[in-house]
Amino acid sequence: MAKARIAVMVSGGGTNLQALIDAQISGIIKSGEIVLVISNSHTAFALERAKNAGIKTFSITKKECGSQQSFEKALIDELEKENIDLIILAGFLSILNKSFTDRFAKRIINIHPSLIPSFCGEGYYGLKVHEAALHKGVKVTGATVHYVNEIPDGGEIILQKAVYIRKNDTPETLQRRVMEQAEWKILPAAAEICSRKIIENKEI
């Protein structure tokens, strides 16, 4: 059976990338295959995770390119060279322009560590999201996988999973639990849903 060709875009440690690699090995992701990992940092540990799994890597920085437009062109060239069907943003900390997101409409998904529409949009990433949730005093948080458009965290929601906040939580303990209980479960599940849709549409 044909599989959707997946590229995962990362900026840091790659814990969500590892969850995707593990899900592919265990058969949770069966309609797609990760064939490329792209990073906007040459030193991201996620690149090591990819190499350990035998996945091709590509890294490039905006600084090297000189502009957002040149940076996105380099990304597009690499994605198209590898015939990528689905792009997964897994902690990719670079905002992508409308021209980029429109080119891959309904082909880019992102994981965000809150229940959108809470604690999302520009400036909400990493620990900042969990700090905001604790500061507000919400009792339930979680994670969301959504399609990517030109508005940060603004695309259609694919999956969400709730995580209860504990009385003694710190941003760090909450971040870890949201990853373990939500992100690492719904991101692979969404990758499978989207890969299956792409394959079914290709077969028509």
Catalytic positions = 112
Token output for 110: 């992102």
What values do phi and psi take at 36, rounded to 5?
-155, 135
The residues near 16 (Cβ < 8 Å, ≥ 6 apart) are 10, 90, 91, 111, 179, 183, 184, 187
| Residue corresponding to tokens 């792409």 | 198
**Most distant CA pair in the chain, distance:** 52
Q: Distance between CA 170 and CA 148 in Å, rounded?
A: 29
Token output for 7: 């590229």
Q: Identify the bridge partners of residue 33 per DSSP, sorted by sequence position.
A: 5
Q: Identify the bridge partners of residue 7 per DSSP, sorted by sequence position.
A: 36, 87
Beta strands in 16-139 (DSSP E): 32-39, 56-59, 86-89, 108-112
With beta carbons less than 8 A apart as the criterion, state whether 160 and 107 touch: no
